[in-house]
């Protein structure tokens, strides 16, 4: 079951509230193709809940989504306790109208689709609602849809992240969907592209952990390693991060020995090895300057043993052998 949203997506999106498309209130009008909502002839009386739903559905089937939306909302306003107003089908048609009207009503569309999901909809309605939520989340994430502030549109990828991964998000409530796997990948890629590597790491790690059989698994494992590696600031810092990146690249190579990023992973492992070696070599040189040869030799051996194929190891070996020669002469 879906949980209550912490925030209203419609409010967060800055979407326009639905207002009637004409001066006539559908609750006291009738709908006609090519005309829209118009006054009922004298003596006709206000439409019943069933008639109002039927005419709203006619507008919907004619792709007159604004008229249809006005009608369905009037149905709920005029007959809130009626079976017609409470039906999951009405909620779905309202959601579809909001969706069809475009990005300015995407927020209301998400809220309406969530209402559909709470109502035990038929399978096709369920699938469509989930697919729409995914598409709207993606639209905000990649900039196809925009929020508005005093009428000024602006990009809001964070709203896309909320719709997909938030407390009431698609992945949170429906983790076993293929769209949920795709949503995690898209959000992770978004963070990586923005160089928010710690956030990218968190989402890639979730994808790898929770979806080991996903078609994204190979790509996600490599991108997880890259997200960690991009957080390394230099050999003087982040030894723990380097070790974590090293383990992640090795995991990718073990799991995907013929993967498309094998050579790149090996190149990054070589780079990490060089940084690790340089780090220990720097410490060894410090102890040499401080006239502490035993400590220096300890770190020199560490470079040679731990990262033997690096330039740092070659330099460490030369220093170590020179020290051994000097010690043998004394």
pLDDT tens per residue, range 201-235: 999 999 999 999 999 999 999 999 999 999 998 76
Report d(CA 266, CA 250) in Å as an integer: 8
Say if residue 203 is exposed, middle or buried (CB neighbours under 10 Å; 0-12, 13-18, 19+): buried
Q: What is the mean pLDDT of residues 116-126?
A: 95
Residues 56 and 93 sit within 8 Å (Cβ to Cβ)? yes
Which is more confident, 211 or 7?
Answer: 211
pLDDT of residue 272: 94
**Is residue 45 predicted with pLDDT exceeding 80?**
no
The pLDDT value given to residue 186: 97
Q: For position 238, what pLDDT does the model report?
A: 72
Look up the pTM and report it: 0.82
Evaluate if residue 310 carries a pLDDT over 70.
yes
Give the pLDDT confidence score for residue 152 in this predicted structure: 86
User: What number of helices (H) and strands (E) belong to the chain?
Assistant: 16, 4
Q: What is the mean pLDDT of residues 177-190?
A: 96
Report the alpha-carbon angle 234-238-240, nearest 5.
140
Q: Which helix (H) or strand (E) holds 128?
A: helix 123-142
CB-count burial class (<10 Å; 0-12, 13-18, 19+) for 139 = middle
Compute the mean pLDDT over every residue in the chain, rounded to the nearest whole number: 90
pLDDT (average), residues 176-181: 94
- 288-299: string of b/e by CB count within 10 Å (b at 16+)? beeeeeeebbeb
- 18-36 as b/e, with b when 16 or more CB fall inside 10 Å? bebbeebebbbbbbeeeeb
What pLDDT is recorded for position 263? 97
- Reported as a pLDDT band with limits 50, 70 and 90, residue 328 is confident
Whether 15 shows a pLDDT value over 60: the answer reads: no
From 135, 141, 132, select the one nearest 112 (Cα to Cα).
132
Q: Write out pLDDT tens, residues 102-120.
A: 999 999 999 999 999 999 8
Kindly state the average pLDDT of the residues 160-177: 95
Mean pLDDT along residues 258-269? 96
Residue 53: per-residue pLDDT: 96
Q: Which residue has the higher pLDDT, 139 or 41?
A: 139
Would you state the pLDDT for residue 44?
66
Residue 149 confidence (pLDDT) above 90 = no
Confidence of residue 306 (pLDDT cuts 50, 70, 90): very high
d(CA 276, CA 246): 10
Residue 109, burial from CB neighbour count under 10 angstroms (0-12, 13-18, 19+): buried
Contacts of 26 (CB under 8 A, 6+ apart): 20, 37, 52, 55, 56, 67, 70, 71, 74, 75
Q: How far apart are CA 185 and CA 208, in angstroms?
A: 10
Tokens 């069933």 identify what position? 50
Provide the pLDDT for residue 233.
82
pLDDT of residue 91: 97
């Amino acid at each position: 079951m879906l949980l209550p949203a912490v925030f209203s997506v419609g409010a967060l999106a800055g979407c326009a509230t639905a207002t009637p498309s004409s001066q006539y209130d559908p609750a006291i009008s009738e709908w006609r193709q090519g005309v829209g909502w118009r006054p009922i002839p004298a003596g006709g009386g206000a439409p019943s809940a069933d008639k109002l739903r039927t005419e709203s559905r006619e507008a919907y089937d004619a792709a007159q989504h604004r008229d249809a939306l006005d009608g369905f909302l009037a149905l709920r306003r005029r007959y809130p306790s009626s079976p017609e107003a409470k039906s999951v089908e009405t909620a779905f048609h309202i959601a579809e109208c909001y969706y069809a009207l475009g990005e300015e009503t995407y927020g209301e569309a998400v809220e309406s689709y969530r209402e559909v999901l709470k109502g035990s909809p038929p399978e096709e309605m369920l699938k469509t609602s989930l697919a729409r939520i995914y598409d709207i989340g993606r639209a905000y994430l990649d900039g196809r849809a925009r929020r508005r502030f005093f009428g000024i549109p602006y990009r809001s990828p964070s709203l896309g992240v909320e719709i997909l991964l938030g407390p009431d998000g698609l992945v949170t409530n429906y983790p076993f969907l293929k769209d949920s796997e795709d949503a995690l990948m898209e959000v992770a890629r978004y963070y990586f592209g923005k160089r928010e590597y710690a956030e990218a790491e968190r989402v890639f790690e979730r994808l790898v952990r929770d979806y080991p059989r996903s078609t994204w698994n190979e790509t996600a494992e490599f991108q997880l390693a890259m997200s960690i590696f991009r957080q390394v600031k230099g050999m003087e810092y982040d030894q723990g991060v380097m070790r974590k990146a090293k383990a992640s690249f090795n995991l990718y190579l073990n799991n995907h020995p013929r993967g498309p990023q094998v050579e790149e992973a090996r190149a990054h492992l070589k780079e990490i090895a060089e940084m690790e070696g340089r780090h220990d070599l720097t410490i060894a040189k410090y102890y040499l300057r401080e006239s502490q040869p035993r400590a220096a030799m300890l770190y020199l051996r560490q470079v040679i043993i731990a990262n033997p194929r690096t330039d740092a190891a070659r330099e460490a070996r030369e220093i170590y052998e020179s020290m051994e020669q000097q010690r043998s002469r004394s």
